[in-house]
Amino acid sequence: MGIHVLDSRTIDRIAAGEVVERPASVVKELVENAIDAGSTAITVEAKEGGIEFIRVTDNGCGIERDQLPTAFLRHATSKIEDADDLNHIASLGFRGEALSSIAAVSRVEIITKRKENLTGTRMVLEGAREQSIDEIGAPDGTTFLMRNLFFNTPVRRKFLKQPATEGSYITDLMEHLALSRPDISFKFVLGNQTRFHTSGNGDLREVIYRIYGREIAAELVPVQIEENGIKVEGYLGKPVLVRSNRNFEIYFINGRFIRSGVIAKAIEEGYKQYLMQHKFPLCVLHITMDTETVDVNVHPSKMDVRFSDGMAFARMLSEKITITLRNREMIPDASLEDEKAIQKKEQEER
Ligand code: ADP
Ligand code: MG
């Protein structure tokens, strides 16, 4: 075989391997798109662990009909113009790889409408091939339906885990997404069960309550730090909420859920005098910093980041956590009132 450049469908399918590893990666990309579209309410439904069916409905800006086919092309994005923009990314997406990758390995239907238009558009794709595109009546926003993940790449499909396990990955992801944006109402339905529904009223403690339940929501210490242009806001679980792994050390940088050895270590250092070895705290922290001091352009899954001055940040964070926890010991309990308020609200909504 002579040397030749692969055709775009083959390239897309190879690239899809990087972006779409499993159903949870599809959900992540679709929800991030919904968030970037300015949605205030997002519903995610998944069946068979998301392998057979994922539907994400948002009330965001929608996509213009003549742009819809373009959105499914590789490296097609509305979020950055050029390389300079990479230095100050404010959106969750920017690579323009998600829709093309998902469409390459599944059956996709998208219905989308912009507010200023009277009608919407419905487009159907199979293995990235456009099957149809029609005008259709639709609510404002976008509904994205994916079926039969990896139907055309059986080897990859074989490597998926049982639906229950894939479903649990989606659940973890959805929890993090809901915690990342208390100002957005998230509804998550797995199988036939609504797993949680957040109100979108901006109250992080309420989101924690809806996701982790009353016992945990009652044992939180608010934290608020502002130093050197870095802001940290959220809740520290009291040491009684001790966990046996790091999964509940949850932190977001500029709205993005990440995992970082530097931050994990700083948090654990901050809790050091309160926790035994090999025990881990629960916390939910929203960290805001200048987009120029943190690099999110590290990996397609975008879970890792690089800091320009990680050490100084880590030192500051662990000190403040220690101080917050220490002060906490001296103040009486205020959380009972908060909890009553949440319960009351929940009853009203029933
Ligand atoms: P990226 O998010 O990196 O830009 P995607 O492939 O995920 O790339 O999406 C391509 C483009 O399609 C986006 O830049 C955006 O303009 C549009 N888009 C995707 N999903 C939505 C949505 N839910 N609402 C509005 N526009 C969307
Ligand atoms: Mg995207």
Domain ranges of the chain: 8-197, 219-327
Ligand 1 lined by 250 (C-beta under 6 Å): no
> Which CATH number is correct for 8-197, 3.30.565.10, 3.40.50.300, 3.40.50.1110, 2.40.50.140?
3.30.565.10
pLDDT of residue 93: 78
Closest CA to 32 of 252, 268, 245: 252
Q: How far is the CA of 28 from the centre of ligand 2 (A)?
A: 9
Residue 89 is predicted with a pLDDT of 74
Consecutive 10-residue averages of pLDDT for the chain (350 residues): 84 79 96 97 98 98 96 86 79 85 96 97 95 97 98 92 98 97 98 97 97 95 92 96 95 91 94 92 94 67 72 92 85 54 70
Structure confidence at residue 302 (pLDDT) = 57
- Expressed in angstroms and rounded, the spacing between residue 283 Cα and the centre of ligand 2 is 27
Sequence-distant (≥ 6) Cβ neighbours of residue 339 within 8 angstroms: 209, 214, 217, 218
Count of CB atoms situated within 10 Å of the CB of 4: 6
Query: Which of these, 229, 233, 225, 235, lies nearest to 289 by C-alpha position?
Result: 229
Whole-number pLDDT of residue 236? 97
Atom of ligand 1 nearest to the CA of 92: 2
Task: Report the separation in Å between the CA atom of 259 and the middle of ligand 2, taken as the mean of its atom positions.
Answer: 20
The values of phi and psi at residue 111, to 5°, are -120, 125
pLDDT the model gives residue 283: 98
Token pair of 72 as six digits: 């499914």
State the pLDDT at residue 85. Answer: 82
Q: Is 95 in the pocket of ligand 1 (CB under 6 A)?
A: yes
- C-beta of 60 in contact with ligand 1 (< 6 A): yes
From 36, 59, 85, mutation site for ligand 1 pocket: most ligand atoms within 8 A of C-beta: 36
| 62 C-beta closer than 6 A to ligand 1 | yes
Of 127, 135, 95, nearest to 108 by C-alpha is 127
Q: Which of 335, 35, 54 lies closest to 189, judged by CA?
A: 54
12 CB under 6 A from ligand 1?
A: no
Q: Is 251 helix (H, G, I), strand (E, B) or coil?
A: strand
CATH architecture, domain defined by 219-327: 2-Layer Sandwich (3.30)
Query: Of 99, 108, 109, which is best to mutate to test ligand 1, by the most ligand atoms within 8 angstroms of its C-beta?
Result: 99
Residue 43 backbone dihedrals phi, psi, to 5 degrees: -115, 130
Q: Indicate the SS3 state at residue 42.
A: strand
For atom 23 of ligand 1, which residue has the closest CA? Answer: 34
Tell me what pLDDT residue 342 has.
Answer: 65
What is the position in ligand 1's atom list of the atom closest to the CA of 100? 6
How high is the pLDDT of residue 265?
Answer: 94
